[in-house]
Structure 1
Amino acid sequence: MSKDKVVAGKVQKRSESTELTPLMVQYQGIKDEYRNEVLFFRLGDFYEMFNEDALEVSRLLNLTLTHRAQHPMCGIPYHAAKIYIARLLRLGKKIAICEQVGEIGKGKTIAERKVIEIITPGTALESEYLEGGTNNYLACCSLQKNAVGFAYIDVTTADFFATSWDKKDMAESFSKELGRSSPRELLLPENLRSDKTVLKVLEQNPKISVSYYPEWNFDPALSFKRLNRQFGTQNLRSFNLTEDSAEVGPAGFLLDYLMRTTSSSAPHVSGIKVYRDCEYVMMDDSSRRNLEITENLRDGSFQFSLLECVSHTQTAMGKRLLVNWLNYPLTDSEKIASRQEHIAAFVDNRRLLDSVRQSFSSVLDIERLAGRIAMERAHAKDLQALKSSLETWLKIRVLIENYGFSVSSTDEAREIIDLIDSSILEEPATSLTEGRIIKPLWSEELDRLRDIQCNFNRILEEYAEEEKNRTGISNLRIKNSSNSGYYIEITKGKLQQIPEHFIMRRSLLNAERYTTERLQELEHELNEAGSKIVQLERDLFVEVRSKIGKLVPYLLQTSREIAYTDVSSALAYSAILYNWVRPKVDDSTVFDVKDGRHPVVEAHLPAGEFVPNDFSSCSSLDFSEEYPASFSLITGPNMAGKSTFLRQNALIALLAQTGSFVPASSARIGIVDRIFCRVGASDNLARGESTFLVEMTETANILRSATEKSLVIMDEVGRGTSTEDGLSIAWAISEYLLNTVKCKTLFATHYHELTRMNHSALRLLCMAVAENSGEVVFLRKIKEGASENSYGLHVARLAGVPECVIVRAEEILARLQKAAGESPVLSADIKTETSGEKEKSLFSQKLPGLFSDEEMVLDEILSTEPENVTPMQALELVARWKKTLSGR
């Protein structure tokens, strides 16, 4: 007979189920139904895991691995289960909670057990499993003909969104939507399991828990009915959806999935927001990461991101909304102006700002409390938290009512406050099986039961006095023993006065013991009072919670008002703290910033140390609109601040279109539809992509997708290949952006040859450098013109390159510069299309005759960043340089 064995980390299945013990037969039957979940199997005071689950969980959570009848096993105490469940959810695991639901009876060898709850990363409801300032999105994506639907929902807040795109845009749009919604869990149909585009995007988002389901789950007809049933509608026209809309399939399956896992219809989810890209500033996932909006590039944490800089909200609701504003900047100037007005109200009234922010610090997460109430998961302390938060909000409403904030009625809030105040104890129990929830005077029956439990001796004394008066037996006593319970004891001398309703219990030497029907009733009530109190308190609490549940839509609306006010006050606080100004945002193509600063860099430097810079989309820095210049070519050495200057202008545009004030002394921002940021790149060897391939892929996306209203930030394009190829590519890209796209572009480069371009929309900028007696100082100031030197040798000396190497490099540079001075001057102008002449470019001339091998190699040496080159790449570079200079 074979037995289960652990071989190479896996459990060999028994050949015959009859070899399993009854308990393991029960376990295996349940596990077969929940193959994709970690099964928490309740045994006594522990949740146990067996076989593959035990092997995996013991490794993930560093638990001791034991065995039961040769089955691998590990366990956790049930009272500490939430801690371990939270850790597993963060690792993307799903958990099925299996509890004992029956007792061992006649003919039974084990108690009945069943799964009572499934917890997944995207459907978790308990506060212990959630991050207060982050939405917990469950997302779904499916393909319908040539369109892709994408939907995501946070069941804890009832936020429900959907969008769609053409199948041909799958790579960009899928990555973009995952990047800004950041779902914890993603549901996909089986027909996308082997889709290379989808797999490539998922590789870039390893933290998302992904599950695949049969295609019929995403059927549009079934989903259409499911959505109508959820929203109580006959059709979905009010949500801009039809049965054929690509969004319907994934949105409907999300609701089905929630029902399966939470065993609730999520009644608070009463609508869906369908959005299009034109409503918000579009940013591909690469640009979002490069700008470090919500997390930094170094370790993906919150520190040194734009979010950290403006994260001054006081409530969890506000923090979530702030993240949403940063991920979805607006393109509607009227909506932007409305947000600015509310932020300005706080900026102009510091006393109001301080009062509101101080009050908000005591407001808890009403949005998630409302979700828990709707799904019947809220406990008594949740209701007390709701009451205190609503009381604070009513005080805040009085403060802001004259400043144009949209606020709902106060009647419902007062109704909820009064209901909780009258019914729920100030410090109630969180469990519904303990009692200690309902206040006195809320229920006459509950008060009577509590009186029996707490004052039973007084009740007995009253009854004893009643019997004394009726029988005339003055020494009648009611006593209690563990064996006999409660009884009436009467001495022998009074036996002739015993009434008929006394029931003989026991005769003693000097006395006799009796009982009565009334005494038996009182004793029974006492024995039953404890359990009746617990049950009645539970029923009364559920009744109170249900009454509040009818007002959940009001609570959700109130939470949105609180979040909006909180974000407005937080951005006002940022504006005051960092000395930001209100920008003028309109539908023009102007981009003029005076004394602009990088918000994150400035926040982490000592006060006054950051050097501000102007930037204008005009042909000069005087804010004139007479000669618009869409393309700014920026040259200058490394460490002089080019990348900071590029990023700060992109972040200023983003902040302006969220409605925020911006880090400048004045600013006028024309609405941009997309922001592209191509700065830096790294190898992705696992996908067979080199640094240069990543760079070119991102560049190709920009050239294909940018429009005349876009803002493009590009830094050192073409650096990942040879000097000739890189220069040629950078020049051609510049031509394309100048002549075809015509969008606002900031283009930083080390290829000084690009400054020879001539175009009416081109402006040359460079980073100012001061030289004095051989000493070089980077002023971090932008100025008109082209840089005369890359100062690569200076940077190399600062980096600690051996002095002998620096000296030799200076000798080589002098020789190359002399040789270059004897070469014919390059003249390659780019004419505008209106000139009537055929455009000329660098590529219309013969490159080999223009640049010597030595000049090309030197330029590449000076533009190489040693800290970004691996040892193998360095050897390859040296070998190529040697081959080029030797002529072989």
Structure 2
Amino acid sequence: MSGQSAQHVAPADSKVTPMMAQYTEIKTANPDSLLFYRMGDFYELFFEDAEIASQSLGITLTKRGKHQGEDIPMCGVPVHAADDYLQKLIAKGHRVSVCEQTEDPAEARKRGSKSVVRRDVVRLVTPGTLTEERLLDAGANNYLMALTRLKGGSMEGDAIYGLAWIDMSTGSFQVSETDHQRLAADLAQVSPRELILPDNLLQENELRLIAEQPGGALSPVPRAFFDSSTATDRLGHYFGVKTLDGFGTFSRAELSAAAGILAYIEKTQLGERPPLDPPVREAGTGRMLIDPATRANLELSRTLSGEKQGSLLATIDRTVTGGGSRLLASRLAGPLVNVDAIHRRHDAVAFFLGNEIMREGLRQTLKGAPDMARALSRIALNRGGPRDILAVAQGLEAARAVLDQTGSVADAIPAEIAAARASLEGAPHDLGTELVSALREDPPLLKRDGNFIATGFNADLDELRALRDESRKVIARLQASYAEELGLRSLKIKHNNVLGWFIEAPSAQTEKMTADPGRFIHRQTMAGAMRFTTTELAELESKIASAGERSLAIELEIFDRLANAIIGTGEAIKAAAQGLAILDVSAALAKLAQEENHVRPTVDDSRAFEIKGGRHPVVERALKKAGGDSFVANDASLGPDKDGNTGHIWLITGPNMAGKSTFLRQNALIAVMAQMGAFVPAAEAHIGVVDRLFSRVGAADDLARGRSTFMVEMVETAAILNQAGDRSLVILDEIGRGTATFDGLSIAWATIEHLHEVNRSRALFATHYHELTALSARLERLSNATVSVKEWNGDVIFLHEIVPGAADRSYGIQVAKLAGLPATVVERSKQVLSQLEEQDRGSRAESLIDELPLFANLTPVAATASAEPDPVLESLCDINPDDMTPREALEALYRLKALSGKKPA
């Protein structure tokens, strides 16, 4: 969009109309977005913007006059339907500048007949700055995130990254600090709709690919946005404080990211200030670290095809409010590692599980609670309407009702629910009562439409509405009053375009009226009739004429007063909205536990991982819906052995389609659910906190980075072996299958030994390399497990049970037969397999066990490297390119060349 040709952005001759001159001036100032130019009841787009919009929206491209001798392409969308079109444009990655009329057309006419109404851009609409209800997913946060990088800091390494993320629709504001190793996982946890970062960082391919992983829009901005030297002043100015000490302690990287995101908001909102919470520091170590590949493999919030349906989130979501749904998604995205915090969440679920009648009553109340947090944000940004005020009113009513419903147990509720209830007690309930009495039950969407204030709330408004809507009845009553007073049944009050409203009576019967000229003012004499007016009638006529405008003005005045009252109590309203969301999630997880027979897990700081009767929540629910077989539950025991050694590994063999991958995933999902605060699909569960979860199950090409399927597999495996620790849970499936048999077997072999000796992680490792089962003789914490099957008349029957032992074959030919391979191919496969099995691969593996040295006795590769420091690297680390002049940079390059000891060729 920024490549718009010069002839379309700069008027060059006298033939340019004033309107087009205004348009091109505004467009030149906003080159990187589509310009919605307000023309009466339409937003119109011209030139290249029109061509892009017409194609993206599927609307007609027309023409509007000429500009410098060429036709002007044009398309437009109605103002009242603009949100729908904005949604489509934003979804396709466009940014939109909304240009409104900033003066009344009547004022423009006073300057001359050819004067153009003043217009200006009032807002830049981007994916991360949406607040409109119709543009947002009620069940998902709409995060705008800022990423910046600084040298040095509290973390290890030469560079640290600052992250700040905001949901403008609710006002939440969080910051954190991370390093390169955790960066992808931290971005994936937040999953921002839009990511802003300094433009220079996008020039680094690796960092760009990491930034693109969350799938949101990338918005590069000038580095000046992230100036850490002025960050404290920017934040203090935004929140109206002289010091940030009251908000907590922030690192330089966090302050830089926070300043950058505020600068972007100020740029896009053009004077409007979202009601943001003060920034809250989220320590990265407070959440389970889940990298992007693991999130995708486990299908936490989206399936591998990108659908929400079929994901873990969709399966467990029983919430009834938008705020509750967003909170549930947030908890699933970032499971806790703090045992006490996890216990508080479990206590809340247990409370509602044991109080079913109260829970269901509360859920019924919550169903009627609108999204207060998002309504408040729109009101504060001057984008709210009557329905937003009604949403706050109904939300506060729901808060009061929930207080009443939980009042009888207020002294015996767990801490999580008590804190939520306290936030409801602090809500402005008196304001809620006023809002309910002020608004009609079904107000219009836009305040400019009027008729949203309830009858009886304002006497002046009621009188004006009566004049506006019942003017004939008001005139009739006045006519009856005059006729009775004067004794003239023939007296009429009439109207025409010349006199307006007037009193008419037969000339022969007007003595009393002509005798009182101070009251009955003569207007016109007709043949056989006379016409009069009175001060009362003139005032009534004036009121009738302006009743519509005046009634709307009063409604808008009331709206502004109510909106200001809401904004003034915004913090309490936000807290109440969060309290309702917490109650919704706790009650929903209790409902889930009851419906799906989930149990409370034991979570502690040990290294335990004992699951009895574990089940895969998504697969189990799918089986129930299909009315098929019930899910076969299985145990898993990866905790310490009798000597307290950690990091037990299960090596799982068995045929395809028998359920190995399902078993692997279900244990990872049970850990995630337990630490997010939910009950789990198992008969019993004891989980020592998992700090990092790694899952490599399946793979695909990564064409963007030029990686084959096997390369992707190896990159993900490398990340696991380099990062996993003794508190981690590792799920590995079919490592090494993407290359030659001996290569793959060798890699899988070494990977298991590394997990056992170095990482010491709790791990599940599924494989078809049966030779690996021999490792259990050498590795004391490695156990063999297999998926049991039965053969019947040459076919295989999957029992889906995980039992101790090792499979002696994979039954691949039987599975191929089930898949429908031609009978000739199946028969030939059996012949080839028979010949291959004569080579006795099992004995070869056992001989390898005896011949290979122990992994622990191998000399680490790093130990063979020279311990002498590299003078070139040392000198390079001392260089700060940002502080150097071109001459200094050139001299430094010569010094590095000299230190290398190499002469030019």
TM-score range (shorter-chain normalised) is 0.7 to 0.9
Paired residue for 1:159, among 172, 192, 197?
172
CA contact (8 A) 1:711 1:744 kept: yes
In the TM superposition, what are the counterparts of 1:321-720 in structure 2 within 5 Å? Answer: 321-401=327-407, 402=409, 403-404=413-414, 405-406=417-418, 407-408=421-422, 410=425, 412-454=427-469, 456=471, 477-493=492-508, 497=512, 498=514, 499-501=516-518, 502-606=520-624, 609-618=630-639, 630-720=648-738
Mapped pair 1:31 → 2:38: no
Letter in 1 for 2:584: D
Compared CA separation, residues 727 and 538, structure 1 to 2 (3 A): same
CA contact (8 A) 1:797 1:803 kept: yes
Partner of 2:902: none
Letter in 2 for 1:678: R
The Cα of 1:25 is off from its aligned counterpart by 2.3
Partner of 1:861: none
In the TM superposition, what are the counterparts of 1:727-766 in structure 2 within 5 Å? Answer: 727-757=745-775, 758-766=778-786
Which is further off, 461-470 or 303-312? 461-470
CA contact (8 A) 2:656 2:810 kept: yes
Paired residue for 1:150, among 150, 159, 163?
163
Count of residues in Structure 1 that have an aligned counterpart in Structure 2: 824
Task: After superposition, give the CA deviation of every residue in 1:430-483 in whole Å (9 maximum; x if it has no partner).
Answer: 332333122344334334433444555566567667777988888655432222
Provide the C-alpha distance between the structure 2 equivalents of 1:275 and 1:14, rounded to a whole number of angstroms. Answer: 45
Paired residue for 1:180, among 175, 189, 204?
189
Letter in 1 for 2:631: F
Q: Secondary structure at the match of 1:709?
A: coil
Q: Secondary structure at the match of 1:667?
A: strand
Provide the C-alpha distance between the structure 2 equivalents of 1:635 and 1:836, rounded to a whole number of angstroms. Answer: 23
Letter in 1 for 2:147: C
Which is further off, 53-62 or 276-285? 53-62
The Cα of 1:208 is off from its aligned counterpart by 1.7
CA contact (8 A) 1:597 1:610 kept: yes
The Cα of 1:257 is off from its aligned counterpart by 2.5
The Cα of 1:626 is off from its aligned counterpart by 6.7
CA contact (8 A) 1:759 1:830 kept: no
Q: Secondary structure at the match of 1:725?
A: helix
The Cα of 1:125 is off from its aligned counterpart by 1.5
The Cα of 1:693 is off from its aligned counterpart by 1.1
In the TM superposition, what are the counterparts of 1:735-884 in structure 2 within 5 Å? Answer: 735-757=753-775, 758-820=778-840, 826-829=846-849, 838=857
Letter in 2 for 1:561: G
Partner of 1:860: none
Compared CA separation, residues 651 and 483, structure 1 to 2 (3 A): same
Compared CA separation, residues 679 and 63, structure 1 to 2 (3 A): same
CA contact (8 A) 1:379 1:431 kept: yes
The Cα of 1:417 is off from its aligned counterpart by 2.5
Partner of 2:898: none
CA contact (8 A) 1:446 1:536 kept: yes
The Cα of 1:704 is off from its aligned counterpart by 1.2
The Cα of 1:604 is off from its aligned counterpart by 0.5
The Cα of 1:530 is off from its aligned counterpart by 1.8
The Cα of 1:800 is off from its aligned counterpart by 2.6
Task: After superposition, give the CA deviation of every residue in 1:316-353 in whole Å (9 maximum; x if it has no partner).
Answer: 11100000110110111111111111111122233233
Compared CA separation, residues 465 and 723, structure 1 to 2 (3 A): closer
Mapped pair 1:79 → 2:42: no
Compared CA separation, residues 109 and 743, structure 1 to 2 (3 A): same
Q: Which runs of 5 or more structure 1 residues have no equivalent in the other structure?
A: 1-5, 842-888
Partner of 1:212: 220
Mapped pair 1:310 → 2:323: no
Which is further off, 273-282 or 775-784? 775-784
Mapped pair 1:284 → 2:299: no
Compared CA separation, residues 792 and 454, structure 1 to 2 (3 A): closer
Q: Secondary structure at the match of 1:288?
A: helix
The Cα of 1:290 is off from its aligned counterpart by 0.5
The Cα of 1:10 is off from its aligned counterpart by 7.5
CA contact (8 A) 2:665 2:731 kept: yes
Letter in 1 for 2:393: K
Compared CA separation, residues 578 and 463, structure 1 to 2 (3 A): closer
Compared CA separation, residues 550 and 601, structure 1 to 2 (3 A): same
Provide the C-alpha distance between the structure 2 equivalents of 1:609 and 1:544, rounded to a whole number of angstroms. Answer: 56
Compared CA separation, residues 753 and 840, structure 1 to 2 (3 A): farther
Compared CA separation, residues 150 and 9, structure 1 to 2 (3 A): closer
Task: After superposition, give the CA deviation of every residue in 1:351-385 in whole Å (9 maximum; x if it has no partner).
Answer: 23322222222221122122223333332222223
Provide the C-alpha distance between the structure 2 equivalents of 1:691 and 1:252, rounded to a whole number of angstroms. Answer: 40
CA contact (8 A) 2:399 2:580 kept: yes
CA contact (8 A) 1:155 1:266 kept: no
Compared CA separation, residues 411 and 222, structure 1 to 2 (3 A): closer
Letter in 1 for 2:388: D
Letter in 1 for 2:201: L
The Cα of 1:420 is off from its aligned counterpart by 1.3
Letter in 2 for 1:646: L
Compared CA separation, residues 411 and 559, structure 1 to 2 (3 A): closer
Q: What's the C-alpha RMSD, in Å, of the aligned pairs?
A: 3.0
Letter in 2 for 1:156: S
Partner of 2:198: 189
In the TM superposition, what are the counterparts of 1:248-287 in structure 2 within 5 Å? Answer: 248-263=255-270, 265-266=272-273, 268-287=275-294
Partner of 1:96: 97
Compared CA separation, residues 120 and 628, structure 1 to 2 (3 A): closer
TM-score of the superposed pair, with normalisation by structure 1: 0.87
Q: Which runs of 5 or more structure 2 residues have no equivalent in the other structure?
A: 152-158, 861-905
Q: Secondary structure at the match of 1:554?
A: helix
Mapped pair 1:319 → 2:325: yes
Letter in 2 for 1:33: A
Task: After superposition, give the CA deviation of every residue in 1:694-744 in whole Å (9 maximum; x if it has no partner).
Answer: 111111111111111000111111111112221111111111111111110
The Cα of 1:293 is off from its aligned counterpart by 0.3
Task: After superposition, give the CA deviation of every residue in 1:74-120 in whole Å (9 maximum; x if it has no partner).
Answer: 22233322211111121222212223444252252544333333322
Partner of 2:872: none
Letter in 1 for 2:429: R
Letter in 2 for 1:174: L
Letter in 1 for 2:166: I
Q: Secondary structure at the match of 1:588?
A: coil
Task: After superposition, give the CA deviation of every residue in 1:160-195 in whole Å (9 maximum; x if it has no partner).
Answer: 1111123xx1xx433223322121112121211212
Compared CA separation, residues 830 and 83, structure 1 to 2 (3 A): farther
Percent of paired sites with the same residue: 37
Provide the C-alpha distance between the structure 1 equivalents of 2:126 and 2:740, rounded to a whole number of angstroms. Answer: 50
CA contact (8 A) 1:759 1:829 kept: no
Q: Secondary structure at the match of 1:488?
A: strand
The Cα of 1:32 is off from its aligned counterpart by 0.8
Provide the C-alpha distance between the structure 2 equivalents of 1:264 and 1:433, rounded to a whole number of angstroms. Answer: 22
Provide the C-alpha distance between the structure 2 equivalents of 1:436 and 1:626, rounded to a whole number of angstroms. Answer: 73
Provide the C-alpha distance between the structure 2 equivalents of 1:823 and 1:152, rounded to a whole number of angstroms. Answer: 57
